[in-house]
A and B are shown apart, each in its own frame.
Chain A
Amino acid sequence: MENTNLKKLHTVTLDASKCIGCGSCVKRCPTEAIRVRNGKASIIYDKCVACGECVRICKSLAKIPSYDKLEIINNYKYKIALIPPSFYGQFNNVANINYILTALKKIGFDFVFEVGIGAELVSQVTQKLVAAGRLKKPIISTACPAVLELINERFENLKPNLLPLLPPVDISAKLARERAITHHGVAESDIGVFFVSPCPAKVYSLKANKMVNSHYVDGVLSVAEVYMALMPIISKLHESKNLSEMGVLGLQWASSGGEAAGVMCEKYLAADGIENVIDILERLENGSMTDVEFVELNACISGCVGGVLNVENPFVAKARIRQLRKKFPAVGNTLAEIDKPLEYYLVERQLQTDGQSFDSDRQIAFEKLMEIQRIYQTLPQLDCGICGAPSCRAFCEDIVMGRIPADTPCPMVKGQKQ
């Protein structure tokens, strides 16, 4: 995988045979990235932030999130699974989470590493950075890749406010890889590191190497698929090995508010659900939230437990995570034990913004904007979606940007004339 800013890596694809062109996804998409063309949904990948809302809303199950099939782990001799804290919320009646980790080893993984460990470390580094007072406030978390993409594409102004730390999954991948080499004596070339992802956004972000210079993760699997592989095994397990190493601090990252609570600053805000997130970002950009120091934003309702690749209802999973708290040690992994310099946790490369301008030449962009405004005045401004675009503004933009022929009529206006 090379460093890439491209959106060619399709986050979600369409099963055209299932798509009925209902337009639900067009209306639901928070970045207006979907259109219905010739009766089928089509994604403008430049606008997609991989939030997974279209997958969630599609009744026809025509939206297929991209991820790697479980079989790919067999391409590597030594297989490492990275398990997000939200994974523990997927299982009902598991007396001991070590059964889950033990079962993961039974399905072929040699080493299971909890991403909650990376999360605990990120929390502690964040605490230090906040205490040092050198970060631009309000500090915005970088853990949710859909939010990160949204900020990068639409809220460039807020980029200086981003926490300059890698997300827990990248830290965990680095640590797990190193541990396999030093503790388990594995040759680096034999190692395959696989994240079990709750969402398509993490798949996209890890594949595109959004914040790192070299890739630490070799494949991104889906929670649902790994869950299905585990179920037959887990029910037959009679004993487990003590494999869990993380503490409560890491576990609580599974749901919204958990990261912010771990920062130990009083003035924090945690918002979840992509529309709520956008509202907060607009307000932050307008400078109207001066009394907040740390902002945690999750694109999915309830946080990572709400990811669209999960199997369990977000609220059920969140409740389970809460009940699991008492089973985890209050003090987990500490920075002192891990003993890494600050640089180890820092973002390795700055996000590249494509920008939202209609044209790199301002005169041309200006003319396009004039044309958008002119066409907009001729439309009924109902945002009815019948044309296949989510709003009248998006329809104008499609014409001006050449996505549809310039003489495309508005179906509503055409109807009135006849």
Chain B
Amino acid sequence: MQHIHLEYDVDGNNFVSAGQATENVKFCLKGLGINPQMIRRIAIAMYEGEINMVIHANGGKAIADIYMDKIVVQLVDTGEGIADINQAMQPGFSTATEDVRSLGFGAGMGLPNMRKYTDEFEIESTVGVGTHITMTVKF
């Protein structure tokens, strides 16, 4: 199907640049005239995803495919992976270090929020291989 494919490298250990992929996606969606509340949901979920990859996986790739009626965002990293996905999906659960927490991150709401703000949410993870998240928001 006709769509716009965007791919961004998310730099690990760089909180300052995290969010650039989200910013570009927001620009595209505003250009399409997508409802602002919808854009906000996508922005929150995608930004969380970017931050997650910075904190836990030394960066990764953010991929957005924009269709006429939906956006599919994938966050792909080759980090250490998640051993217990159910536990990771619990609100408040976090493995973030004190360093990261002192920056205000690592409240354990990342994955739960990503699921909450998207229409479809899939997560696959293998310890030692990496994590692949696919989120869809329908316009």
Distance from B103 Cβ to chain A, minimum over Cβ atoms (Å): 11
* Interface SS, B side: helix
CB < 8 Å neighbour of A368 from B2, B6, B31: B31
The count of residues in chain A whose C-beta lies closer than 8 Å to any C-beta of chain B is 26
B44-A291 in contact (CB<8A): no
A365-B33 in contact (CB<8A): yes
CB < 8 Å neighbour of B23 from A282, A358, A360, A365: A282
Interface residues of B (CB under 8 A from A): 2, 4-6, 19, 22-23, 26-28, 30-33, 36-37, 39-40, 43-44, 47, 51, 66, 68, 104, 113
A157-B40, A357-B32, A366-B32 known, 10 other contacts, Cβ within 8 Å: A154-B30, A282-B19, A287-B40, A288-B19, A355-B33, A358-B32, A362-B32, A369-B4, A369-B28, A370-B2
Interface residues of A (CB under 8 A from B): 154, 156-157, 282-283, 285-288, 291, 355-360, 362-363, 365-366, 368-370, 372-373, 393
Q: Which residues of B contact A370 (CB under 8 A)?
A: 2, 4
Candidate in B31, B40, B47 with the most chain A CB atoms within 10 angstroms = B31
Distance from B9 Cβ to chain A, minimum over Cβ atoms (Å): 14
CB < 8 Å neighbour of B33 from A154, A291, A357: A357
| In the complex, residue of chain A having the shortest beta-carbon distance to the beta carbon of B4 | A373
In the assembly, what is the distance between CA of A363 and CA of B67, in Å?
Answer: 10
Query: Which 9 pairs of residues, A with B, have the shortest CB-CB distance?
Result: A357-B33, A286-B47, A287-B44, A156-B36, A356-B30, A157-B40, A157-B36, A358-B31, A365-B32
Distance from B100 Cβ to chain A, minimum over Cβ atoms (Å): 14
In the assembly, what is the distance between CA of A86 and CA of B57, in Å?
Answer: 48
B32-A286 in contact (CB<8A): no
In the assembly, what is the distance between CA of A283 and CA of B26, in Å?
Answer: 12
Q: Which residues of A contact B19 (CB under 8 A)?
A: 282-283, 286, 288
In the assembly, what is the distance between CA of A179 and CA of B54, in Å?
Answer: 58
B33-A359 in contact (CB<8A): yes
In the assembly, what is the distance between CA of A356 and CA of B26, in Å?
Answer: 11
In the assembly, what is the distance between CA of A358 and CA of B4, in Å?
Answer: 15
Q: Which residues of A contact B4 (CB under 8 A)?
A: 366, 369-370, 373
Distance from A389 Cβ to chain B, minimum over Cβ atoms (Å): 15
18 contacts between A and B (CB under 8 A): A157-B39, A282-B26, A283-B19, A285-B26, A286-B19, A287-B43, A288-B47, A355-B33, A356-B33, A357-B32, A358-B32, A358-B33, A362-B33, A365-B33, A369-B31, A369-B66, A373-B5, A393-B27
Distance from B30 Cβ to chain A, minimum over Cβ atoms (Å): 4
In the assembly, what is the distance between CA of A291 and CA of B51, in Å?
Answer: 17
In the assembly, what is the distance between CA of A156 and CA of B40, in Å?
Answer: 10
B31-A365 in contact (CB<8A): yes
Q: Which residues of A contact B30 (CB under 8 A)?
A: 154, 355-357
| In the complex, residue of chain A having the shortest beta-carbon distance to the beta carbon of B66 | A369
In the assembly, what is the distance between CA of A355 and CA of B43, in Å?
Answer: 18
Q: Which residues of B contact A366 (CB under 8 A)?
A: 2, 4, 32, 68
| In the complex, residue of chain B having the shortest beta-carbon distance to the beta carbon of A156 | B36
A363-B28 in contact (CB<8A): no
B31-A287 in contact (CB<8A): no
Distance from B91 Cβ to chain A, minimum over Cβ atoms (Å): 14
Distance from A106 Cβ to chain B, minimum over Cβ atoms (Å): 51
Q: Which residues of B contact A368 (CB under 8 A)?
A: 31
A369-B32 in contact (CB<8A): yes
In the assembly, what is the distance between CA of A370 and CA of B5, in Å?
Answer: 9
| In the complex, residue of chain A having the shortest beta-carbon distance to the beta carbon of B50 | A286
Distance from A283 Cβ to chain B, minimum over Cβ atoms (Å): 7
In the assembly, what is the distance between CA of A357 and CA of B51, in Å?
Answer: 28
Distance from B96 Cβ to chain A, minimum over Cβ atoms (Å): 15
In the assembly, what is the distance between CA of A370 and CA of B104, in Å?
Answer: 37
| In the complex, residue of chain A having the shortest beta-carbon distance to the beta carbon of B139 | A362
| In the complex, residue of chain A having the shortest beta-carbon distance to the beta carbon of B38 | A157
In the assembly, what is the distance between CA of A357 and CA of B6, in Å?
Answer: 19
In the assembly, what is the distance between CA of A355 and CA of B35, in Å?
Answer: 10
In the assembly, what is the distance between CA of A154 and CA of B36, in Å?
Answer: 10
| In the complex, residue of chain B having the shortest beta-carbon distance to the beta carbon of A365 | B32
Distance from A156 Cβ to chain B, minimum over Cβ atoms (Å): 4
In the assembly, what is the distance between CA of A341 and CA of B4, in Å?
Answer: 52
In the assembly, what is the distance between CA of A358 and CA of B44, in Å?
Answer: 23
Q: Which residues of B contact A362 (CB under 8 A)?
A: 32-33, 68
Distance from B42 Cβ to chain A, minimum over Cβ atoms (Å): 10
Q: Which residues of A contact B36 (CB under 8 A)?
A: 156-157
